[in-house]
Each structure stands twice: as structure tokens, then as C-alpha cells.
Amino acid sequence: MYLIVGLGNPGKEYQNTRHNIGFDVIDVIARQENISVTEKKHKALIGKGIIAGRKVILAKPQTYMNLSGESVRSLLDYYKADETEELLVVSDDISLPPGQLRIRKKGSAGGHNGLKNIIAHLGHDCFQRIKMGVGEKPEGYDLVDYVLGRFDGTDRKIMDQAALAAADAVRLILTEGADAAMNLYNKKVKTEE
């Protein structure tokens, strides 16, 4: 049983913000795979389905970002998923340019409070993740205001494409493993000069 968790904050006021790109990716996968993510369980909205021949749970924790680990821990315990092999977390990353993906099999939270809380609840950082670049905070901006802000029109288009790419990366991880996905997606995004 694969557990695919997109990080974000619940509520309309947080929809389409930089911090909710994990939720956006879960929504894309749910649409593409015809999985309804509406069941309330384990402090999350979840949906069960089959992707690339594998049983999956799509989850959007409803604990708010900083407590994401509570939901992830509960889901892992209930479904008896292997934390290092069957957990895949999708989150935003301000250290990557908009639209760039970075897939990892382990690593620090990098200052991301959702990942930090998951690591605290797991007791280790050895789980697969897809980090979605949302761009660096501009000089003088408050970090919270930036990540809870929305993308402008150009960046929104880039992020919509990146969400589609992340959904493809999830399928590749399910079928061929994280290394194959890392080889394909962990490249620098070409920017126009």
C-alpha cells in the first residue's frame, strides 16, 4: 500500500497558495486517476485507488502544515505502510525556482515545517519526497506572507505544468522506483534569458 501525501493547509483562504502545492498535486493525480479524495480519516482527506497497478492512498492532511506528521503517523500505522519504501510526500520548496522538481529518498526538512513535523513523528528522515520549487522569497518579504501568497499569472502556469510533471513522477516512482524518477526529474529548469 503506497501512501502519497500532499502537504498544505485546509480551508478556502489557503487554496492556490505556494504552501499548498502539495494539495494541488494530489488533486491532479486524483483527477487523472479518478480517485475521490473526500473521506475524512486520520486527520486527513483521503482517497483509495489503484495507480500503475499499485494500491494507493492519496492524502491531504487537515492538521495545518506544522502538524502534518500527526496525520502521516496515523496513516502509516493504520495502513501498515513501509515508511521508507511506501511513503511519498509532496511539498513546496522555496530554495528551488518555480516549477523545478527535486526528488529525494531522504534528507533534512530544509526549514520546511511540514517536513520537520513528519520527521519528528517518524523519528527519521528516510522517506521519499517530491519537492516542488515555488521560488525564493523576495528581499524584504516575510517568509510566512510569501508562502501563504498566491502565484502570479506566469508562475501559476509554470506551477500547473509542474503539478502535471509531479503526477507523472509519482507514477514513475510507483513503477520504476525513486532512482529512475530522480534521474529524469532532478535537472535544472531552463530559464529563458
E-strand stretches of 20-115: 39-41, 44-51, 54-61, 87-93, 101-104
Give the Å distances, CA to CA, from 151 to 16, 99, 157: 8, 11, 9
d(CA 182, CA 60): 23
Got the DSSP string for 133-173? E--PPPTT--HHHHHTSBP-HHHHHHHHHHHHHHHHHHHHH
Give, in degrees to the nearest 5, the angle at Cα 11 between 21 and 132.
5
Active-site position among 19, 42, 112, 121: 19
Number of C-beta neighbours around residue 165 at 10 A: 18
Give the Å distances, CA to CA, from 6 to 61, 74, 125: 8, 15, 17
Report the candidate in 83, 85, 36 with the shortest Cα–Cα distance to residue 57: 36
Residue 19 a catalytic site member: yes
Q: Which residues are part of the catalytic machinery?
A: 19
